[in-house]
Amino acid sequence: MTVFEEGQLYSAVTTDADGQVQVHLGEDHPGFTDPVYRARRADIASASLAHRPGQPVPTIDYTDEEHGVWALVSAELAAKHARYAHPEYLEAKAALALPTDRVPQLHEVTQALMPLTGWCYTAAPGLVPLREFYADLGRRTFNSTQYLRHPSEPLYTPEPDIIHEVIGHANQLASPRFAAIAQAAGEASERLETEDALQFVADVFWFTIEFGVMNDGGVTKAYGAGILSSYGELDEFSHMDIRPLDIPTMGTLNYDITAYQPVLFEAQSLDQLEGVVGTFFESVDDDLAARMRAEAHAHA
């Protein structure tokens, strides 16, 4: 098994017959040949696997090295956020006021988010099944990993880690307007019966909540969590093929999750994002998703 097996970015997590948890890093992962890092990843995954709904989210005793990675990336991203992030994200980030010198516990993220938008965080060892992930979004719950990227490459990760899940998503979810769109996507999943329709919604989510950009006074700014948690992509996104919002295309366009996104979709304003994307999530059903998929294929 590799990091990118079946097109999923998260390393696979398995439990042996004797109960031993293994995290299957890809051969190109910076931590692949590091036994200490691999053992650490297994320990953190074990804590998440042992967690049950209704129980307190596992507390991870982060090391000084892990806190150092968080602090370094927080500082480097903050400088880029000031230049490239949309003001709605920056205001939400300031309101959430996460620690920048240490890794926050997920219960701390919840405590900061709840008064702002009513969202909470729960622990996940890695990939969460699509229906489960979106159903939780509909209940204003975000499934987050708790591990950090390998310290040898603090500004790069081949898979989402707590830096992506928290700096990218929690700051975004501290905006009531972004949070409402994410919740609407989750609620949509409960109406959808076909896997094709669910994937369509997930792909629109990818090009908006994960990799969305928005006009700000004639300048393209990022609001997507995937861009805003990527040190490298923040310097590159404005040079990509930037197109107007187009739900049928967003729901059907092929993309490579392992590379910088070459095609991005730009909202002209937060009002437009809510009116186009938010309304789509609020109204989509199996028939609408199928019609939009057919429309996109007819114009391909």
Residues annotated as part of the active site? 164, 169, 210, 229
What is the signed CA dihedral for 177, 142, 166, 276, rounded to 10 degrees?
A: -30
User: How many angstroms separate the CA atoms of 268 and 253, rounded?
Assistant: 21
Q: Long-range contacts of range 53-58, CB-CB < 8 Å, 24 or more positions apart? A: 53/122, 56/107, 57/105, 57/106, 57/107, 57/110, 57/121, 57/122, 57/123, 58/106, 58/123, 58/146
CA distances from 145 to 13, 46, 57, 73, 142 (A): 12, 12, 11, 17, 10
d(CA 269, CA 215): 6
Instruction: Check residue 164 and report its DSSP letter.
Output: I
Q: Alpha carbon 115 to chain centroid distance? A: 21
* DSSP structure class, residue 125: S
- Extract the tokens encoding 232: 């490298």
In angstroms, the CA 225 to CA 89 distance is: 10
User: Which stretches does DSSP call E strand in the chain?
Assistant: 12-15, 21-24, 120-123, 141-144, 213-216, 219-222, 241-244, 263-267
> If DSSP codes are grouped into helix, strand and coil, which group holds residue 15?
strand
Question: Can you say whether residue 250 is alpha, beta or left, with left for phi > 0 and alpha for psi between -120 and 50 degrees?
Answer: alpha
